[in-house]
Amino acid sequence: MGYRFSNLTAACQDDWRAYIEHDFVRDLGDGTLDENAFRHYLKQDYLFLIHFARAYALAAYKSRTLADLRQAHEGLKAIVDLELGLHVGYCQEWGISEADLADLPEARATLAYTRYVLDAGSRGDLLDLHVALAPCVVGYGEIANWLNAQPSTLRGEANPYDAWIAMYESEDFQSAMHAELEWIDARLADVTPARFAELCTVFRDATRLEVDFWQMGLDRTD
């Protein structure tokens, strides 16, 4: 007993490192990522964000307290009012129009990941849902920080992907990540070992699906 978020990453260290240090991430960091791989990723990430917003709506539905309901509402608002708008604008800079986005076939990796999160949350309780979402919320913040710690990472105009790194190292994203870590740490503090083992499975599965999402971008698979 007395678990915390770091026990989840420790329990699936290989999968977690494979996600954080994926070739897609490395190539993005040193600016060598294939531009069409990035475009494929950006398009699928638009679909991801729509389902991510639905997951926060599910979190609202699963909330037992006003504090949790408010938190889910804030998350949903941040995605719908802010992130999706930013994403559409960012896609335009990469030559992807809103019409392209509206009419996108969903890749299998996107389907698998987003529906897995929604199912983990429907089957379980609010903690299952947050643990399934943690690789997104915590992972991307950690990826930005990991990239900034690598000597091979190129920042500024020399890297076409600089704005992507900037988004996830931003105060807004990093503070959402810390709020999520705190929430999960508080809930994990009093779960039993058997419950922790269940949550590890959810966390590991979601992390592996994030790995597949990067690979989908690299391989440009549908």
Ligand X SMILES: Cc1ncc(CO)c(N)n1
Q: Which residues bind ligand X (CB under 6 A)?
A: 45, 48, 136, 140, 210, 213
| Nearer of residues 72 and 136 to ligand X, judged by Cβ | 136
DSSP label of 107: P
In angstroms, the CA 131 to CA 120 distance is: 9
Q: Which of 83, 142, 180, 210 is catalytic?
A: 210
Q: What are the distances in angstroms from CA 20 to CA 61, 83, 95, 139, 208?
A: 31, 21, 27, 7, 11
> Measured from the CB of residue 210, what is the shortest distance to ligand X in angstroms?
6
In angstroms, the CA 139 to CA 16 distance is: 9
Name the nearest CA neighbour of 207 among 18, 5, 55. Answer: 18
CB count, 10 Å around CB of 125? 11
Q: Under a CB-based contact definition with an 8 Å cutoff, are residues 48 and 114 in contact? A: yes
> Measured from the CB of residue 83, what is the shortest distance to ligand X in angstroms?
7
Active site residue 35: no
| Nearer of residues 47 and 60 to ligand X, judged by Cβ | 47
| Nearer of residues 136 and 199 to ligand X, judged by Cβ | 136
Q: Which of 12, 136, 142, 180 is catalytic?
A: 136
> Measured from the CB of residue 115, what is the shortest distance to ligand X in angstroms?
13
| Nearer of residues 43 and 62 to ligand X, judged by Cβ | 43
Q: What are the distances in angstroms from CA 124 to CA 59, 89, 90, 144, 181?
A: 11, 35, 35, 30, 19
| Nearer of residues 116 and 196 to ligand X, judged by Cβ | 116
Active site residue 198: no
Q: What are the distances in angstroms from CA 114 to CA 54, 79, 109, 118, 198?
A: 9, 15, 9, 6, 19
> Measured from the CB of residue 154, what is the shortest distance to ligand X in angstroms?
21
> Measured from the CB of residue 48, what is the shortest distance to ligand X in angstroms?
5
Question: Which residue is nearest to ligand X, using beta carbons?
Answer: 136
Q: Give me the active site residues, please.
A: 136, 210
